[in-house]
């Protein structure tokens, strides 16, 4: 293995408080009731638009008549709050440093908007850890479409057989499968082990150090 592509929210960083806060500030501005953190946990993973769609449906807007309004407000609020209380999960920094020392090429692929993805990675991890960072943009379809993974493989100069894709959701499981790369599902993120297994995850880890060991064994 020569490359590793990571999902961001729920995989590298615990962003649930940031996302819930931004959603609820959006709802407050729209005079709608707030959602819970557990609801937000189940709504994330498919990008900002799906997050707001699911939120509005939960608030009773079954026809999504206020979707564009919600997207405009959320985009503005999330821009200012994308790193609010965001922290890396325990063991992530150490694991990334270990992989870097092993010469593994590292990238991030997120369904979070590209600008916010770059901001979070830069503010939480600084410069120099990741070779490439890619968020959702008009240039590439969002996961589970494999286009983002294939784009990063080309950028990194790494073949499908030499790359691991790491994520915490059923979207990530499907992304790895669609791209034809080895998938690793983490159990510390936004989805339970049961949901990941039902999505077809074959390789699951419960601590970042397990990824380091897996890559050492498969170099």
The confidence score (pLDDT) of residue 85 equals 86
Q: Are 40 and 64 contained in the same domain?
A: yes
Contact predicate 33/59, CB 8 Å: yes
- Dihedral over alpha carbons 206, 212, 215, 219 (to 10 degrees): -160
| Last-in-domain residue among 59, 81, 103 | 81
Same domain, 39 and 142: no
Helix, strand, coil fractions of the chain, as percent rounded to 5:
50, 15, 35
Task: Indicate yes or no: pTM above 0.85.
Answer: yes
- What CATH number does the domain containing 160 carry? 3.40.50.1000
Q: What is the mean pLDDT of the chain?
A: 95
Q: Are residues 9 and 20 in the same domain?
A: no
Greater model confidence, 16 or 182: 182
CATH number at residue 43: 1.10.150.240
Question: How many domains, in total, are found in the chain?
Answer: 2
The 10s digit of each residue's pLDDT in 107-163 is 999 998 899 899 999 999 999 999 999 999 888 999 999 999 999 999 999 999 999
Assess whether pLDDT exceeds 90 at residue 71: yes
Phi-psi region of 157 (alpha: psi -120 to 50; beta: other; left: phi over 0): left
- The first and second tokens of residue 16, run together, are 């649930």
- CA distances (Å), 28 to each of 8, 33, 75, in order? 27, 7, 14
157 in the same domain as 95: yes
Residue 84: band (very low, low, confident or very high) from pLDDT cuts 50, 70, 90? confident
Mean pLDDT of 155-180: 97
Domain that holds residue 136: 3-14+86-217
> Is the confidence at residue 2, as pLDDT, over 90?
yes
- Decide which of 54, 81, 108 is a domain's last residue: 81
Catalogue the active-site residues: 7
Assign 83 a pLDDT band (cuts: 50, 70, 90): confident
């Amino acid at each position: 293995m020569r490359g590793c592509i990571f999902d961001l929210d729920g995989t590298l960083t615990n962003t649930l408080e940031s996302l819930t806060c931004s959603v609820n500030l959006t709802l407050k501005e729209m005079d709608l009731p707030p959602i819970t953190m557990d609801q937000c946990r189940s709504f994330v993973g498919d990008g900002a638009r799906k997050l707001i769609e699911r939120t509005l449906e939960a608030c009773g807007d079954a026809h999504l008549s206020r979707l564009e309004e919600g997207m405009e407000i959320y985009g503005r609020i999330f821009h200012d709050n994308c790193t609010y209380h965001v922290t890396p999960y325990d063991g992530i920094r150490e694991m990334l440093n270990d992989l870097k020392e092993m010469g593994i090429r590292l990238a991030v692929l997120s369904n979070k908007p590209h600008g916010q993805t770059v901001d979070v990675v830069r503010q939480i991890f600084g410069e120099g850890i990741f070779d490439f960072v890619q968020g959702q943009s008009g240039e590439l379809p969002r996961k589970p479409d494999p286009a983002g993974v294939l784009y990063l493989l080309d950028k990194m100069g790494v073949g499908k057989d030499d790359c691991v894709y790491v994520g915490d959701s059923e979207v990530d499981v499907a992304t790895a499968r669609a791209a034809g790369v080895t998938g690793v599902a983490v159990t510390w993120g936004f989805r339970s082990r049961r949901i990941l297994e039902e999505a077809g995850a074959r390789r699951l880890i419960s601590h970042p150090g397990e990824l380091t060991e897996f890559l050492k064994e498969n170099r």
